[in-house]
């Protein structure tokens, strides 16, 4: 039995076990085959995921389904939090399947190839926030990229060096740009005397940043960040190069 194993075993290795091997996979297969199923399910806005126990094969996460159980994804749940919650579920299902195999009662169901989606390995670049996307999509990315590679952006201010920020929590502010002119994705909206740090996105809504961490500093609430960093007019989030 394997879980979160990063290699495809050869046919020769699989044939060593007289009753075959099983794999514990953190998605509702055939959706999200690959190395990072939890993160990509959240990234794409899925409402539920789960755990699937499959019979191991020489193809990536393609074996027959032996057991499967779904669970809802919380609206603010990060990939790390969801992984922690899926662990006990996967363990319980795996033990059940092992008992069925020992009793000769295990029956596999082939996966529907027409419903296959991929969940490739994450890279650091996947954490860079693209502010031209929809606000809800950005929220999903922020949740999906925790604990790794972490969702990040750069703060650009006139005559200042770009400041790298990790964004931990955010919320959608619907229709916040109505009636505003010169709206640009990544533009900061900070009202003097206000405690809210809002960012323009590419599809009309704003995103309010709730918690973040400047490079070299500790994690903090946005209101605390605003007290220590002058944003002013012209503040912009984006890539390292403006």
The residues spanned by each domain of the chain are: 2-115, 124-238
pLDDT given at position 183: 76
Average pLDDT over residues 229-238: 84
Q: Measured between alpha carbons, how far is 146 from 39 in angstroms, rounded to an integer?
A: 8
pTM of the model: 0.92
Same-fold call for 2-115 versus 124-238: no
pLDDT given at position 177: 53
Please check whether the domain covering 2-115 is classified as CATH 1.10.10.10. no
Q: What is the mean pLDDT of the chain?
A: 90
pLDDT given at position 58: 85
Name residues whose C-beta falls within 8 Å of residue 15's C-beta, 6 or more positions apart in sequence.
none
Beta bridge partners of 142: none
By CB atoms closer than 10 A (0-12, 13-18, 19+), residue 114 is exposed
Q: Mind listing the pLDDT tens digit for each residue in 187-211?
A: 998 876 678 899 999 876 889 999 9
Q: Measured between alpha carbons, how far is 63 from 5 in angstroms, rounded to an integer?
A: 15
- Whether residue 19 has pLDDT greater than 80: no
- Whether residue 127 has pLDDT greater than 70: yes
What CATH number does the domain located at 124-238 have? 3.10.25.10
Q: Mind listing the pLDDT tens digit for each residue in 48-94?
A: 999 999 998 888 999 999 999 999 999 999 999 999 999 999 999 99
Average pLDDT over residues 144-149: 98
């Amino acid at each position: 039995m394997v879980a979160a194993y990063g290699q495809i075993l050869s046919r020769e290795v699989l044939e060593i076990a007289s009753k075959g091997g099983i794999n514990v996979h953190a998605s509702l297969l055939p959706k999200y085959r690959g190395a990072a199923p939890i993160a990509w399910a959240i990234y794409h806005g899925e409402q539920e995921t789960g755990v699937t126990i499959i019979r191991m094969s020489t193809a990536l996460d393609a074996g027959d389904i032996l057991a499967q159980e779904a669970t809802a994804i919380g609206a603010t749940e990060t990939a790390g939090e969801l992984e922690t919650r899926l662990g006990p579920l996967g363990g319980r299902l795996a033990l059940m399947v092992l008992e069925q195999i020992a009793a000769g009662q295990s029956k596999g169901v082939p996966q529907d190839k027409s419903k296959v989606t991929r969940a490739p390995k994450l890279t650091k670049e996947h954490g860079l926030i693209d502010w031209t996307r929809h606000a809800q999509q950005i929220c999903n990315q922020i949740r999906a990229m925790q604990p790794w590679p972490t969702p990040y952006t750069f703060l650009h201010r006139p005559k200042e060096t770009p400041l790298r920020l990790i964004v931990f929590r955010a919320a959608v502010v619907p229709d916040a740009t109505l009636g505003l002119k010169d709206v640009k994705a990544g533009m900061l909206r900070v009202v003097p005397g206000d405690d809210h740090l809002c960012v323009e996105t590419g599809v009309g809504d704003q995103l309010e940043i709730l918690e973040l961490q400047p490079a070299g500093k500790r994690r903090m609430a946005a209101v605390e960040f605003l007290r220590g960093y002058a944003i002013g007019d012209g503040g912009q989030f984006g890539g390292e190069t403006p």
